[in-house]
Amino acid sequence: MKFVIATHNQGKIVEFRRMLEPMGIEVVMAELSEPEETGKTFGENAYIKAESACRETGLPAVADDSGLCVDYLDGAPGIYSARFAEPGKRRLTVLEKLHGVPEEQRGAHFVSAVCCVFPNGDRIDAEGKCFGAIAQESRGENGFGYDSIFVQDGRTFGEMSDQEKDARSHRGKAFEEFERKLKEYLEG
């Protein structure tokens, strides 16, 4: 079964492949437009991206809308995680905003909403969250985005292997739910 992946984020492309290929899905890349993310929730934005890619390619399309929600910042940057500050300055901006904030107030979580839209209009939605804290400084080279400042059990996602991150991450959990729902959908 071929699925087009509706993302322009290189870090996500790598993770989508890691998660979809073991399900027996052939991942297809396509030149896709970038629809405006006008949704008010992760789920709404994931649907906007998947629906647009499905319409443009005629293939089932999978998208993820995700972000980092920081307790001390009242849940920001949240759905604005990719637009929160200039590219290259986002991690630093979060660290600066939390400068001097004690450990117990540095809680944060990632959210990933996955949406798959089929050419007949059917859709599958799944969501995953993972809870942790914002590090005092950036650590580790693995992953992408905010991985090097998000800590779980003493290590940042940037310090974990791909397998360790996937076993705990918001996207790992969302794709686990997606896999279950896809099976039900295909059997139903």
* Residue whose C-beta lies closest to ligand ITT: 145
Q: What is the CA radius of gyration of the chain?
A: 17
Tell me which residues in 11-30 interact with ligand ITT (CB under 6 A): 12
Is 162 noted as a catalytic residue in this protein? no
Is 136 annotated to bind a ligand? Reply is no
Enter the tokens of residue 55: 């319409």
What single string gives the DSSP state of each residue in 46-71? HHHHHHHHHHHHSS-EEEEEEEEEEG
Between CA 166 and CA 15 the distance in angstroms is 8
- Residue 8 in the binding site for ligand ITT (CB under 6 A): yes
Closer residue to ligand ITT in complex, CB, 38/120: 38
Is 169 annotated to bind a ligand? Reply is no
Length of the chain (residues): 188
Report which DSSP code applies to 77: B
- Residue 60 in the binding site for ligand ITT (CB under 6 A): no
Residues that bind ligand ITT (CB under 6 A): 7-9, 12, 37, 49, 65-68, 81-82, 110, 143-147, 169, 171
Q: Kindly list the catalytic residues.
A: 65
